[in-house]
Every structure is written in structure tokens, then in C-alpha cells.
Amino acid sequence: MSNNLPSLRQYEVIFMGSNAQGKIPMFTVVEAVTGKGAIRAFVERFKPVKGWFLGNPEDITGRIRKKSDDAGSHSRK
């Protein structure tokens, strides 16, 4: 039986602002199925009270996989 669920992807979210404690990292990686879901996941996780998103979330799943593949090939040599 095949699994038709969409897979989670890694998105980099860039946000300039703060939460109730005053701290939110500017560059954050979250897991989501879509870019819109990445924003939702970011808001649920960090609960920003003021600020703005700088552009759309960037899907970096391929870049992360490539880095892990490269690291794995170097460790086998």
C-alpha cells in the first residue's frame, strides 16, 4: 500500500522582530509541507508579537540533503 501523504520539507524562514521575551532568531529552519505551512509552524513555535517576514520561506531540503550526502561520502574515504 503506497503512502500518499506529502512529505515534510525543510524551509528557511527569515523574520525580523521579537516575541514576548524579546528574542527570535533571524534565520530559522522549520519543517512543513508548504511555504505557507512553514510560516504557520514558525508562528506556532516562536509566537512573535511584532515584526515581519523578509520574503517567502525558502525550501532548502535539497541543500540539506546534498550537505549530508557530501559529509557521508567524505567520512567513508
pTM score = 0.79
**What is the Cα–Cα distance from 8 to 26, expressed in whole angstroms?**
22
User: Do the beta carbons of residue 57 and residue 19 sit within 8 Å?
Assistant: no
Range of lowest pLDDT (39-43, 44-48, 56-60, 70-74): 70-74
User: Do the beta carbons of residue 38 and residue 60 sit within 8 Å?
Assistant: no
pLDDT tens digit sequence for 5-50: 689 999 999 999 999 999 999 999 999 999 999 999 999 999 999 9
